[in-house]
Amino acid sequence: MSTQAPDPFTTLLDLNSGSLDPERKVVERRHSNMADMYLEEYADGMADTVIYSVHEISVPTTNSNLMSSTTVIQPGTVGQEYYMTKGHFHKIRDRAEIYIGISGEGRLVMAKEDGLYTVEAMRRGTINYVPGGWAHRSVNVGDEPLVFFAVYPGDAGYDYGTIEEEGFPVLVVAGEDGPEVVPNPRYKAASPSEAG
Ligand code: M6P
Ligand code: ZN
């Protein structure tokens, strides 16, 4: 069949740790994989420390399948910036995504290529809708792991390069009274403007 539909299957999600049973593909991102994504350099000896892991429920990468994954972001900061994902646009720009918050406290930074951005809350029970055309990065602003489940079309793909080159319009940093959203001094794309 051209849709390459897999047979029905079931996966068990551990609602505390975010791990899956069975585990299929787990990607770990360490400080050394994200060196240029934070304003400051990571501390000596932290290169191999895992910032987040992505546990994927892999399906064929066609538009008729739904890819999904749980992401577990550890608590911590690099300088004032909270631990976060790399963030990406979808390679096929119009592909959307849904996040379901499972545990911890986070922020979802979304931005369009013209600089329009928004920052949404993530916690147990939030359902964030990421429309097509919006880059997305999740940030752990709490003291515990941030765990969420994501679902998106199988052919969406990843464009990391645009974010690596231009950054997001805003950063989420630890202020005196908690998380603050501040302009990204290294943002290279169009003028930032906040959505609605
Ligand atoms: C979510 C989804 C995944 C993504 C992961 C980590 O689970 O959006 O597709 O891989 O977050 O984000 P990133 O790929 O930007 O590192
Ligand atoms: Zn995505």
- What does the pLDDT average to over 164-193? 95
Q: What are 105's two structure tokens? A: 């406290």
**C-alpha of residue 80 to centroid of ligand 1, in Å:** 22
List the one residue out of 29, 141, 171 whose CA is nearest residue 76.
141
Q: What are phi and psi of 164, to 5 degrees?
A: -60, -35
**C-alpha of residue 158 to centroid of ligand 1, in Å:** 9
Mean of per-residue pLDDT scores for the chain:
96
**C-alpha of residue 43 to centroid of ligand 1, in Å:** 24
Q: N- to C-terminal Cα distance for the chain?
A: 43
Nearest-atom number in ligand 1 for the CA of 70 is: 7
Nearest-atom number in ligand 1 for the CA of 87 is: 15
Return the ligand number nearest the Cα of 134: 2
DSSP structure string for 86-147: --BEESSTT--EEEEEEESEEEEEEE-TTSEEEEEEEETT-EEEE-TT-EEEEEE-SSS-EE
Which residues make Cβ contacts (< 8 Å) with residue 75, sequence separation at least 6?
A: 83, 104, 140, 142, 143, 144, 145, 146
Return the ligand number nearest the Cα of 147: 1
**C-alpha of residue 49 to centroid of ligand 1, in Å:** 18
Q: Which residue owns the Cα nearest ligand 1 atom 6?
A: 85
Tell me which residue has tokens 């900061």: 77
Share of the chain above pLDDT 90, in %: 93
Interatomic CA distance for residues 51 and 42, integer angstroms = 11
pLDDT tens digit sequence for 40-96: 999 999 999 999 999 999 999 999 999 999 999 999 999 999 999 999 999 999 999
Give the pLDDT confidence score for residue 190 in this predicted structure: 78
How many residues are present in the chain? 196
**C-alpha of residue 88 to centroid of ligand 2, in Å:** 6
Residue 1 has pLDDT above 50, yes or no: no
Ordered by where they begin, the domains of the chain are 12-195 (2.60.120.10)
List the one residue out of 72, 60, 123, 71 whose CA is nearest residue 97.
71
Q: Is the pTM of this model over 0.85?
A: yes
Distances (CA, A) of 179 to 100, 132, 194: 21, 27, 17
Going by pLDDT thresholds of 50, 70 and 90, the confidence category of residue 13 is very high
Ligand 1, residues at Cβ distance < 6 Å: 54, 69, 71, 85-88, 97, 150
Interatomic CA distance for residues 3 and 35, integer angstroms = 39
